[in-house]
Structure 1
Amino acid sequence: MTAEKVDQIYNLLAGALDPDSLEVVDEGYKHLGHGGEGKGHFLVRIVSPAFTGQSAIGRHRLVYGALASMMPDQIHALAIEAKAPGE
């Protein structure tokens, strides 16, 4: 199930933000026992031209917007490393 969520996150972000690079990492193992089991904890590393001129908050909003259909029912926690090309 988690691999399916990783693929879904990847596909949503790729479709919405046309990234130069994108990595989605399942980090659920780091969060066992504190709640949110079954929903998923993920790390997203993404480089996209869509982030050019955006603040960190703006970049995160773009990522969360792309994943809105999964929040909060399928994603419990999301760490984001978002950069523009050349950063």
Structure 2
Amino acid sequence: MNRAGVIFCVASIALSLALVMALMPSAMVPASVAADAATCKTLEDDIEVELSGVLEGVSMYDLLSHYLENPPTLQAGAAARVRQFGGC
């Protein structure tokens, strides 16, 4: 490899590391948020999700309980939806 190629590679790596070091603090979350995210949530916990429209004011516990008790079903005579997996 010639001298210009080595200089380009070293400069590219140095610039990439400098960019990562400069942007890393802005990507970090506070320690309290990370500790809260590491704990498991149960339905009894107050999980806050803002819903609008007809579901405004309905708790997540009620929504999940209703879904588990009344799972969605196919309508009579309706064909199953065709789903494409992968690709465009």
User: Relative to total residues, which structure has the larger helix share, 1 or 2?
Assistant: 2
Please say whether Structure 1 and Structure 2 have the same fold, judged by a TM-score greater than 0.5: no
Q: What is the TM-score when the length of structure 1 is the normalising length?
A: 0.19
Q: Work out which structure has the larger RCO, using CA pairs closer than 8 Å and 6 or more positions apart in sequence.
A: 1
Larger Rg: 2
